[in-house]
Amino acid sequence: MTPADLLRAAARPDPARPFVTFYDDATGERVELSFTTADNWIAKTANMIVEDLAARPGDRIALLLPTHWQTVVWYLACWTAGVVVAPDGDPTEAEHVVTDPDGVERAAACRGERVLVPMRPFGAPALELPAGFYDYAAEVPAYGDQFAPWAPVSGEDAALVRAGGTATGADLVAVARATATEWGLTGADRVLVTAELRTPEGLMAGLLAPLAVGASVVLCRNADPAALPRRIETERVTRTLPPD
């Protein structure tokens, strides 16, 4: 089993329910994705990965993205396409790179394809596109809503670069399930996360462990501590992760 399989299993009981709700307290942005909407974005992004980037199973993508709903999409699209994610990885050691505007200079060192995720409110295109980069926001809408990989993606395939080596999809699923059990998560939970998705703790809390049980996530970037109590109430948050 792979993380993409976890998504399909989590969506099955009610695809219309919220999967990720994203807040950016610096911009005032709020975006909510249902499982159905997320699946659409993931399929389009996976198609972009294999068509524009010409990425093949086992290729490495350096993901230089902060906590954001589009970061969730990129993780799951990579795993859907069978490519390996290197969170905050060295672009010189990756076949391709995906970055936000803050990482453009670093990403330019990649010898493969380079993608800019503008991180503008509501997925708007870049106001200015650096030479040699695709504009994710401008390109991705044209791709298909369904994705078929070149070959079936197996749980034994490499999925994530982490300290000490590379984890397979099955490794990620096993750890996600064990962590969800340790934290006492259920599919009825609504989880608040302010941690960075590029870190192991943030990735587990903000995506993998909730996905393992079908819980929904409220992701907060640039979180304003004064706003969190009200957000916990209005979003009906049941858990804050990772635990202290």
| This model's pTM is above 0.85 | yes
pLDDT tens for 80-101 read: 999 999 999 999 999 999 999 9
Q: 149: pLDDT confidence band, cut at 50, 70 and 90?
A: confident
Mean pLDDT of 198-213: 97
Contact 76, 54 (CB under 8 A): no
The structural domains of the chain, ordered by start, are 3-241 (3.40.50.12780)
Report the percentage of the chain scoring pLDDT > 70: 100
Distance between CA 164 and CA 172 in Å, rounded? 15
Tokens of 47: 């198609």
**Closest Cα to residue 6, out of 42, 32, 30, 31?**
42
> What angle, 0 to 180 degrees and rounded to 10, lies between the N-to-C axes of helices 69-81 and 3-11?
110
Residue 244: is its pLDDT beyond 80? no
List for the chain the helix, strand, coil content (%; round to 5). Answer: 40, 20, 40
pLDDT tens for 115-147 read: 999 999 888 999 999 999 999 999 999 999 999
DSSP-derived 3-state class of residue 87? strand
Say what the pLDDT of residue 151 is: 83
pLDDT tens for 169-187 read: 999 999 999 999 999 999 9
Say what the pLDDT of residue 12 is: 93
Say what the pLDDT of residue 45 is: 98
